[in-house]
């Protein structure tokens, strides 16, 4: 009798989540790529590949050298700005779940995010630790159009405390209900056509 090869399984989602949380705490980001659905979403709206990828506003510019932490809900992208650190919250999975619904909409992902960003400041700001600022909710003018919002470490001496806060409670308790709320608002916009 020949032995049967069993498929090797990767780490469980729970183990991957724990690894990402630990990596956030110690500041050990990994390279992050452009989600294929972001490219496909723009190409499906009659934009050329050159428009999607080129210039200061294209996906290549947004993801140039991107590093961060893959999470169950998407990407937490980390950018070093000298002594400061910026974390961008990019909810990729939400768009994957809305793929069929978005097919009938003329709105791009970044346009939908602009419509559903109001309320992030009000609900998240009271929970921020000292030294951390909420940013990236500037509507259509934002530099990272696929990020829901960003968090800026404005006080480098708070780095360790902020990283611990990001791992828990932010990623584990504060962010999930906010993403669910945003996803409900996206669903409503797609269903009714109005924000």
Q: How confident is the model at residue 48 (pLDDT cuts 50, 70, 90)?
A: confident
- The reported pLDDT for the residue numbered 9 is 44
Is pLDDT at 2 greater than 50 in this prediction? no
* pLDDT exceeds 90 at position 41: no
Residue 55 pLDDT: 62
27 sits in the region (left: phi over 0; alpha: psi -120 to 50; else beta) called left
Q: Examine the pLDDT at 105 and tell me if it is beyond 90.
A: no
Q: Report which listed range, 1-10, 53-62, 114-123, 147-156, is most confident.
A: 147-156
Q: How many residues does the chain have?
A: 195
Residue of 73, 87, 84, 65 whose CA lies nearest to 150:
87
* Helix/strand/coil for 169: helix
Tens of pLDDT, residues 126-183: 999 999 999 876 555 556 788 999 999 999 999 999 999 999 999 999 999 999 999 9
- φ/ψ region of 82 (left if φ > 0, alpha if ψ in -120 to 50, else beta) reads left
Cβ distance 106 to 45 under 8 Å?
Answer: yes
Taking residues 116-127, report their average pLDDT.
89
Domain ranges within the chain, ordered by starting residue: 69-192
What CA–CA distance (Å, rounded) separates 28 from 52? 30
Please, is 13 exposed, middle or buried when counting C-beta atoms within 10 Å of its C-beta (0-12, 13-18, 19+)? exposed
Look at residue 193 and tell me whether its pLDDT is greater than 50: yes
């Amino acid at each position: 009798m020949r032995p049967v090869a069993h498929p090797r399984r990767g780490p469980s989602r729970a183990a991957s989540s724990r690894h990402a949380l630990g990596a956030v705490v110690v500041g050990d980001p990994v390279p992050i790529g452009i989600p294929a659905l972001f490219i496909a979403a723009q190409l499906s709206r009659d934009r050329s590949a050159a428009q999607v990828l080129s210039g200061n506003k294209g996906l290549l510019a947004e993801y140039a050298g991107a590093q961060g932490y893959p999470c169950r809900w998407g990407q937490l992208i980390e950018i070093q700005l000298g002594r400061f650190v910026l974390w961008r919250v990019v909810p990729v999975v939400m768009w994957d779940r809305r793929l069929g619904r978005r097919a009938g909409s003329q709105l791009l992902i970044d346009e939908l995010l602009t419509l559903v960003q109001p309320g992030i400041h009000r609900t998240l700001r009271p929970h921020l630790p000292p030294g951390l600022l909420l940013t990236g909710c500037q509507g259509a003018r934002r530099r990272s159009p696929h990020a829901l919002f960003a968090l800026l470490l404005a006080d480098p001496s708070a780095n360790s405390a902020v990283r611990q806060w990001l791992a828990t409670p932010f990623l584990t308790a504060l962010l999930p209900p906010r993403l669910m709320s945003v996803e409900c608002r996206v669903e409503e916009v797609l269903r009714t056509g109005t924000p």
